[in-house]
Amino acid sequence: MDENKGKICAVITEESIRAASERIGQAARFARMVELRVDCLRDLDFADPEPLRALITNRPLPIIITCRASSEGGAQAIDDEIRLRLLAAALRMGADFCDVEAAFYDRLLRLSPDVGRLIVSYHNFDSTPADLERIYEALRALPCAVRKIATKANKYADSLAHLRLLDRAKGEGIDLIALAMGEAGIVTRVLGLARGAFLTYGAMARGRESAPGQATCEEMKELYRAEALSANTKVMGIIGKPVGHSASPAMHNAAFRAMNLDAVYLPFEVDGLEEFISAVARSSRLSTGLNIRGFSVTIPYKTAIIPFLDDLDPASRAVGAVNTVVVEGGRLTGHNTDVRGAIAPLEKVRDLEGAACGVIGAGGAARAVVYGLKQRGAEVTLFARDPGKAGPMAREFDISLARIEEVSKERCGILINTTPVGMRGHSEGLSPVPPDAFDGCEVAYDLVYNPRETAFLADASRAGCRVIGGLEMLVAQAVSQFELWTGKRPPIEIFLQAATGKRSLLP
Ligand code: NAP
């Protein structure tokens, strides 16, 4: 198996030479190369690049000097002749590489640069052309050190075209940077090095990205371990829209790292479910080289995905929602680990057989909870704000139904909140039930996990109940997913740590 020899390259997009120099000094923590985007500098006279000399001479890492044309994404309009002279001068100052757009290659050659240190690049910020191979062949014909092709991915198939290009370049002994910009490009950014890319870019911080879809260097190195992945890396991820705030990549990747597994978990922001299924989930390893093993499913696809699957496990069939897909032998099987995730924390503290359980709310999470409770032989009452709307669900699961206002009268031994009431950014500080709902209650369980201390749980604690927070379910459902994909049990503390380290907690 070929070793992953690529590097994470930190892109420096600071506006002053001083700030750029400081950033370059910090880059070595997560990167092995830096690219200075000179076109971002606002305090440099581009006709006199001398102030860059000290920065280039004292570089702690190999440096690429780029002064991008505004027509190809440059930060400001700079006269092309001046830009090209600056690049040639930077090479003479000792820069390891200069990046020049293919459209300006001939003009740069007139300045006699060392072509052995040139990166020749092609950009398309709108789409990924169908003739990517022709573009590669045109770049390959130009004498230089490295070729770069960056295009906007409007669908996952665009990203896979880049991976195939990397395979071809590797076979031909050509150093290539091929990447797709935009959310769907994450596959190329993280897996590119494992497929032989010369480098993959990372931002120095959030908000300092030089192109759409760029992760930070820290994420590339610590979260995704881009430099450690291989052509055999098992690929998992989460599909949904949005997925940017999901805690799942942090949890699963932390466990892969702790267990030293050759696996990665990616955020797949999906616009077209059908396209993702055909291009990625059902992609054959022969055609794309992707070793896809499965993915989590979140809003808005938990039900919409069902028609695309070959099989459903009994839990997802009964709940009518899938939160996990396992890909095996070309078949896609839907699972619902929310069921096990919801019940596992409860089972740790109480035998559920015959237990009187009150479930507040009648949405998607409530279906998973009710199904799990019924499986364990619990006596369930559903408390809904609109019993008319919740009626069909109560009949389907053969459980009692009551108005939410009646919860205090029912005296349930276990009370479970499945509504979003109390959630940060929604109704933090509120509880879906009054404090006297906990009279006679032994265990209170809130599916809301952000904040960890909800008003519902605070009232329950004051009433002497044992309390369980939603973080336990979040972790337990992820543990079940991990087991389905890898056949291994992950360290739960790692999941907990990763989930709580994330600013916004969403599965
Ligand atoms: P959902 O499908 O939208 O269902 C929400 C339910 O809550 C509906 O029955 C809704 O009633 C009811 N509801 C909303 N506001 C209410 C209020 N003010 N008073 C009374 N009832 C109210 O959402 P979901 O997917 O089930 O998720 C619900 C909560 O569970 C969210 O906070 C989510 O973050 C959490 N959750 C946690 C985990 C975990 O791992 N810990 C997993 C899944 C979900 P109507 O039908 O009348 O609108």
pLDDT at 501: 83
Mutate to test the pocket of ligand 1, among 447, 448, 496, 502 (most ligand atoms within 8 A of CB): 447
User: What is the rounded distance in angstroms from the CA atom of residue 401 to the CA atom of residue 115?
Assistant: 76
pLDDT digits (tens, 9 = 90+) for 394-428: 999 999 999 999 999 988 999 999 999 999 999 99
pLDDT at 333: 98
Q: Supply the residues annotated as catalytic.
A: 302
Buried b (16+ CB within 10 A) or exposed e, 487-500: eeebeeebbbebbb
Q: How much is the mean pLDDT over the chain? A: 96
By C-alpha distance, which of 135, 65, 73, 132 is closest to 102? 135
Exposed (0-12), middle (13-18) or buried (19+): which is 410, by Cβ within 10 Å?
middle
Hey, whose CA ends up nearest to atom 4 of ligand 1?
Answer: 363
Would the CB of 17 count as within 6 Å of ligand 1? Answer: no
Q: Which amino acid, 208?
A: R
pLDDT digits (tens, 9 = 90+) for 31-52: 999 999 999 999 999 999 999 9
Under 8 Å between Cβ of 341 and 473:
yes
CA of 393 to the centre of ligand 1 (A): 14
pLDDT digits (tens, 9 = 90+) for 16-26: 999 999 999 99
DSSP code string of 177-196:
EEEEESGGGHHHHHHTGGGT
CA of 83 to the centre of ligand 1 (A): 56
Would the CB of 475 count as within 6 Å of ligand 1? Answer: no
Q: How far is CA 372 from CA 333, 343, 353, 376, in A?
A: 20, 6, 11, 7
The atom of ligand 1 lying closest to the CA of 423 is 32
pLDDT at 504: 43
Whole-structure pTM value: 0.94
Helix (H, G, I), strand (E, B) or coil at 83: helix
CA of 151 to the centre of ligand 1 (A): 40
Would the CB of 187 count as within 6 Å of ligand 1? Answer: no
pLDDT digits (tens, 9 = 90+) for 451-507: 999 999 999 999 999 999 999 999 999 999 999 999 999 999 999 999 988 544 444
Under 8 Å between Cβ of 128 and 150:
no
CB neighbourhood size of 202 (10 A): 26
CA of 361 to the centre of ligand 1 (A): 6
Helix (H, G, I), strand (E, B) or coil at 331: strand
pLDDT at 101: 98
User: What is the rounded distance in angstroms from the CA atom of residue 494 to the CA atom of residue 201?
Assistant: 28
Q: Is the pLDDT of residue 2 over 90?
A: no
- The residues near 112 (Cβ < 8 Å, ≥ 6 apart) are 88
pLDDT at 4: 80
Would the CB of 474 count as within 6 Å of ligand 1? Answer: yes
Rounded to an integer, the average pLDDT of 282-301 is 92
Hey, whose CA ends up nearest to atom 44 of ligand 1?
Answer: 365
